[in-house]
Amino acid sequence: MLDFLVCYDVNTETSAGRRRLRRVAKVCTSHGQRVQNSVFEVSVTDVQLLTLRERLLAEIDPTEDSIRLYRLRQPRDKFVEAYGRDRYVNFSDPLIL
Amino acid sequence: MRHLLNTLYVQTQGSYLSLKTDNIRIEVDGRPPQMVPLHHLEGLVVFGNVMLTPFLIHRLAREHKPVTWLTEHGRFMARTETPVSGNVLLRVAQHGCACDASRTLAVARFIAAGKLQNQKTTLLRSAREALNDDPELLREAARGINGQIGCLPLAQTVDEVRGIEGTAARLYWEVFPLMLRANRDFFWLTERTRRPARDAINATLNFVYTVLANECASAAQGVGLDPQVGFLHALRPGRSSLALDLMEELRAVVADRAIITLINRQQLTPRDFVLHEGNTVTIKDEARKLILAHLTERRKEEVTHPLTARKTPLGLVPHVQARLLAQHLRGDRAHYPPYLHR
């Protein structure tokens, strides 16, 4: 599993832009979790990464929007510092509700 | 090789699970909903009154992620049967072997040998840490089980194999409480009782075995074997005999060991159990959570598989074993090699 940080900036001046924003957010939710408003952390396999990238590129308008994928160094908890309200869940920990 | 994914356990009564953009959305008593992406999960286990939307069940079924329904107290109720993808030729080979008495005997013998060997290892390991004159008793029992392993090649029928296994089990359960070093006056075990559990150890054992049996059933299905057609366990309607077969080698290593550890570390104490009238015992919710968390952690622990000589997470061992059994049934491997814990 590879950890990635996905950030996006989608131009929301037009209604088509707002639509793109929603759809980009949806693609990100289906692969990972929201850690800030337009920042997601995803943990994916090589194949899933290809799907994610493909799906993101299909949604955005390259002249208006931007997407950045940062590969996170592993182990994550050693290299990521988070302060304030943090709702990150590690999905490989025991999931018992 | 398969990747070890996580299992989601939901035991809060009245939770509501639905599908939302490839995530499971979980609402638990009014708390903000939690999202778990499906690709992190390999299955879902729910206890008692937990609601799932049909769309979620369909989606999980389509992705071959089984849902297991247990009662609030952990008794097995139902499990989704995802579309069978396995090789029909493999299943025919499995049924052929089950109909052939001598081949069934051979497989049953190896399964029993694996189980007994692992019971012995568990006893000897505990003997190293035990107090007073317990080590001697534990070693004595281990020697007895060793003797039974020697009897296995002489067994002529599967019934005889079961008899040998029974004798070993008696030796094992007799000294089982000696492996516990904390709260001994509370944790005692006179005999194995299934339903209802008569004491705390039995209640815990039943619970952990249910969880393990489900994992083994998934493993069997994962490689395309029929989980109901077993070799050591007799065929009986509705019983996953093969899953129980696969589980035999892991009972002592995974389940019993986990319970011993939790009791010895005093994470599981008399306060975690409810004694009912009529001599039955149930485990409290919090304690079940603790046991599940411990088992999940344990699943990630890496062991060196004696046959493949590769480091394998303990949680994948049932899958490796199912694959080895499939190889034997197909005729690619002369014997079924049981998993032997170091």
The predicted complex's ipTM stands at: 0.82
User: Does residue B1 surpass a pLDDT of 60?
Assistant: no
Question: In this complex, which of A1, A43, A97 lies closest to B12 when CB atoms are compared?
Answer: A97
- Please indicate whether residue A70 or residue B274 has the higher confidence score (pLDDT): A70
Beta bridge partners of A9: A66
Distance CA B269, CA A19 (A): 55
Q: Which of B21, B28, B63 to mutate to test binding with chain A, by most A CBs within 10 Å of its CB? A: B21
Beta carbons within 10 angstroms of residue B181's beta carbon = 17
User: Does residue B2 surpass a pLDDT of 60?
Assistant: no
- Residue A43 with chain B: CB contacts under 8 Å: 40
Interval B86-115 mean pLDDT: 86
The pLDDT score that the predictor gives to residue A23 is: 92
Q: Which residues are CB-contacts of B250 (< 8 A; sequence separation ≥ 6)?
A: B118, B212, B216, B317, B318, B339
Q: Are B149 and B117 in contact (CB under 8 A)?
A: yes
The pLDDT score that the predictor gives to residue B74 is: 65
Beta bridge partners of B6: B41
CB of A48 less than 8 A from some CB of B: yes
Give the pairing of strands B280-283 and B273-276: antiparallel
The pLDDT score that the predictor gives to residue B84 is: 60
User: Does residue B129 surpass a pLDDT of 90?
Assistant: no
- Residue B6 with chain A: CB contacts under 8 Å: 91-95
User: Does residue B269 surpass a pLDDT of 70?
Assistant: yes
Collapsing DSSP states into helix, strand and coil, what is residue B61? helix
User: Does residue B298 surpass a pLDDT of 90?
Assistant: no
Residue type, B7: T
Q: What is the CA radius of gyration of chain A?
A: 14
Note the residue count of chain B: 342
Is residue B196 reached through a cis peptide bond, with omega within 30 degrees of 0 on the bond before it? Answer: yes
Interval B318-326 mean pLDDT: 84
The pLDDT score that the predictor gives to residue B17 is: 92
Helix intervals (H) in B130-199: 134-151, 158-175
CB of A6 less than 8 A from some CB of B: no
Residue type, B13: Q
Beta bridge partners of A66: A9
Supply the pTM of this predicted model.
0.71
Instruction: Report in angstroms the alpha-carbon separations of B185 from B94, B262, B263, B281.
Output: 47, 16, 12, 16
Q: Do A95 and B37 touch (CB under 8 A)?
A: no
Interval A81-91 mean pLDDT: 85
Element (H, E) at B260: helix B257-264
Is residue A94 reached through a cis peptide bond, with omega within 30 degrees of 0 on the bond before it? Answer: no
The pLDDT score that the predictor gives to residue B95 is: 87
The pLDDT score that the predictor gives to residue B51 is: 92
Tens digit of each residue's pLDDT (9 = 90 or more) over A7-60: 999 999 999 999 999 999 999 999 989 998 889 999 888 888 999 999 999 999
Q: Which of B11, B40, B42, B288 to mutate to test binding with chain A, by most A CBs within 10 Å of its CB? A: B40
- Please indicate whether residue B1 or residue B303 has the higher confidence score (pLDDT): B303
Q: Which of A4, A87, A96 to mutate to test binding with chain B, by most B CBs within 10 Å of its CB? A: A96
Is residue A75 reached through a cis peptide bond, with omega within 30 degrees of 0 on the bond before it? Answer: yes
CB of A30 less than 8 A from some CB of B: yes
Q: Do A89 and B34 touch (CB under 8 A)?
A: yes
- Tokens standing for residue B92: 């025919």
Beta carbons within 10 angstroms of residue A19's beta carbon = 13
- Residue A45 with chain B: CB contacts under 8 Å: 3
- Tokens standing for residue B1: 């090789």
Average pLDDT along chain B: 84
User: Does residue B130 surpass a pLDDT of 80?
Assistant: no
- From A74's Cα to the closest Cα of chain B, the distance in A is 17
Local structure of residue A14 (DSSP, 8 states) = S
Instruction: Report in angstroms the alpha-carbon separations of B41 from A29, B7, B37, B63, B139.
Output: 15, 6, 8, 10, 41
Q: For B54-63, B199-208, B308-317, which range has the lowest pLDDT when averaged over its residues?
A: B308-317
Collapsing DSSP states into helix, strand and coil, what is residue A53? helix
Q: Do A92 and B39 touch (CB under 8 A)?
A: no
- ∠ Cα B110 B113 B116 (to 5°): 155
The pLDDT score that the predictor gives to residue A94 is: 67
The pLDDT score that the predictor gives to residue B14 is: 86
Q: Are A79 and A73 in contact (CB under 8 A)?
A: yes
| pLDDT level of residue B93 (50, 70, 90 thresholds) | confident
- Tokens standing for residue B94: 């499995």
Percentage of chain B with pLDDT > 70?
Answer: 95
| pLDDT level of residue B4 (50, 70, 90 thresholds) | low
Interval B133-158 mean pLDDT: 84
User: Does residue B230 surpass a pLDDT of 80?
Assistant: yes
Instruction: Report in angstroms the alpha-carbon separations of B78 from A77, B7, B82, B208, B317.
Output: 38, 16, 13, 17, 24
Q: Are B256 and B205 in contact (CB under 8 A)?
A: yes
